[in-house]
Amino acid sequence: MGSTPTIGVLALQGDVREHRAALGAAGAHTIALRRESELDRVDGVVIPGGESTTMSRLLQVFDLLEPLRDRLRDGLPAFGSCAGMILLASEVLDTRPDAEHLDALDITVRRNAFGRQVDSFETDLEVLGIDDGPVRAVFIRAPWVEKVGAGVEVLAAVPDGPAAGRVVAVRQGVVMATSFHPEVTGDLRVHRMFVDAVRKAG
């Protein structure tokens, strides 16, 4: 791997181009991940935002669900934003009964917890492990974390307003997730944190 890890961005739906641009600027080589064979080429994976039930169905259509689960179980570093957080969770509330998830984070998440598209908002968050001031967080039909397991570290929670205290960023070992979309702000610090974690894991 050297100092430039290869990170696959799951390219079934969502902010694929934005994540690849941010990861590239943060020092990683990226590929668009659509096939099982491409999993062998990556040192880490990013699961972007999108529509989680659609993405779960496409993982099955592309025969990626079980291979990706296996790689995550074997310690593949992963980062999920918004729908990616939902897919990485061990339990999902307010989802379709046939929706699949990857069981890579011991968390319970609630889909669309902040409301509909019109309830999208931005706020400044203090994120554990990120210095130089707060992170501007963009929430779009976002989930939040209802419950975390014993091995899960809370990285950020909503500071104020009706959702004050709701957990919106977590990490468990080499897997991290955010309810918000760091790929749309131009702030590379979340992506740099993940790229650094992939380097250390390698």
- Whether 101 is a known active-site residue: answer no
Q: Look at residue 130 and tell me if it is in a domain.
A: yes
User: Using N-to-C axis directions, what is the helix angle for 52-61 and 65-73, rounded to 10°?
Assistant: 100
Q: Look at residue 41 and tell me if it is in a domain.
A: yes
- Please give the residue range of the domain that contains residue 99: 6-201
Q: Look at residue 44 and tell me if it is in a domain.
A: yes
- Whether 181 is a known active-site residue: answer yes
- Whether 29 is a known active-site residue: answer no
Q: What is the pLDDT along the chain (202 residues), one digit of tens a residue?
A: 558 999 999 999 888 999 999 999 999 999 999 999 999 999 999 999 888 888 899 999 999 999 999 999 999 999 999 999 999 999 999 888 878 889 999 999 998 887 665 457 889 999 999 999 999 999 988 999 999 999 999 999 998 888 889 999 999 999 999 999 999 999 999 999 999 999 999 8
Question: Is the CA virtual torsion 137, 176, 201, 34 positive or negative?
Answer: negative
Number of structural domains the chain divides into: 1
The CATH number of residue 117's host domain is 3.40.50.880
Q: DSSP letters of 86-120? A: HHHEEEEESS-TT------EEEEEETTTT-SGGG-
Q: Look at residue 135 and tell me if it is in a domain.
A: yes
Q: Look at residue 1 and tell me if it is in a domain.
A: no
The DSSP symbol for 34 reads -
Listed in sequence order, the DSSP H helices in the chain are 16-25, 36-39, 52-61, 65-73, 83-88, 189-201
Catalytic residue among 19, 101, 181, 191: 181
Catalytic residue among 18, 82, 100, 101: 82
